[in-house]
Every structure is written in structure tokens, then in C-alpha cells.
Amino acid sequence: EVQLVESGGGLVQPGRSLRLSCAASGFTFDDYAMHWVRQAPGKGLEWVSGISWNSGSIGYADSVKGRFTISRDNAKNSLYLQMNSLRAEDTALYYCAKESVAGGFDYWGQGTLVTVSS
């Protein structure tokens, strides 16, 4: 059974940093690209960042470019998101999502909540 479990969310002040983690199991992690998708309270889905299976291709949404860094450790079956210079508008539930071989995201975690507030 595929499982994606996010952790690392919490309350943080504007301008500070936070690191999210996603522990994957139930599939061959290093065969698949992985992504972070966020959802602000009461709002829609927003793609944040994605990383290829070997970290050779990485992309970011314009809203986080230069502040967030995605990475992965295939030996630990883990995905990460380093978030720096956090802003109030980064407040959201952050989902880890597995990319399907056919494109799209076929498995999602339950999310970890990040709240940026003073």
C-alpha cells in the first residue's frame, strides 16, 4: 500500500524558516518524480515544486522561487521542502504527491499545516 506521510509543519513567524518532510513507502521511491502541492485555508490547490527521480530536474512555482528548495533522499525514501523567508501568504496545508508514470498525481499524503503568523 502506497503511503505518503508529511511532517514538519507548524506555526512560524514571518521571515523564518521551516523544513517539511515526506516519508514514502509501498512503492519504489526512486522510480518516480515527487511534488509538493499546497492549499490555503478555504482555497484551491496550488502546485509548489517538483523533483525528478534522480533530482536532475527541479521546478518551482513563481510564488516560491528563490525562497523554497525541494530535495529528496532516495536512500531514505524521503522528500523535503526547505522553506525560507516565509510569508503570511505561505500559510497552507502542504501535500506531498507522487507523480504517476502517466502524468498527474496518483497518490497524496494527508498534508502538514504551515501557519505563518506573528
The answer to whether residue 7 forms part of the interface with another protein (CB under 8 A) is no
Per CB under 8 A, the list member of 29, 80, 94, 95 interacting with another protein is: 95
Which range, of 11-19, 21-29, 75-83, 98-106, touches another protein by CB under 8 A? Answer: 98-106
What character string, x for contact with another protein (CB under 8 A) and - otherwise, covers 14-43?
---------------------x-x------
For 49, the grid coordinates are: 515544486
The answer to whether residue 61 forms part of the interface with another protein (CB under 8 A) is yes
For 51, residues 6+ apart whose C-beta sits below 8 A from its C-beta are 33, 34, 35, 57, 58, 70, 71, 72, 79
Nearest CA-CA partner of 101 in 55, 64, 53: 53
Q: Smallest distance from the beta carbon of 43 to another protein, in angstroms? A: 8
Nearest CA-CA partner of 27 in 51, 50, 4: 4
Rounded Cα–Cα distance for residues 69 and 85 (Å)? 12
Residues making contact with another protein (CB under 8 A): 35, 37, 44-47, 50, 59, 61-62, 95, 100, 102-106, 108-111
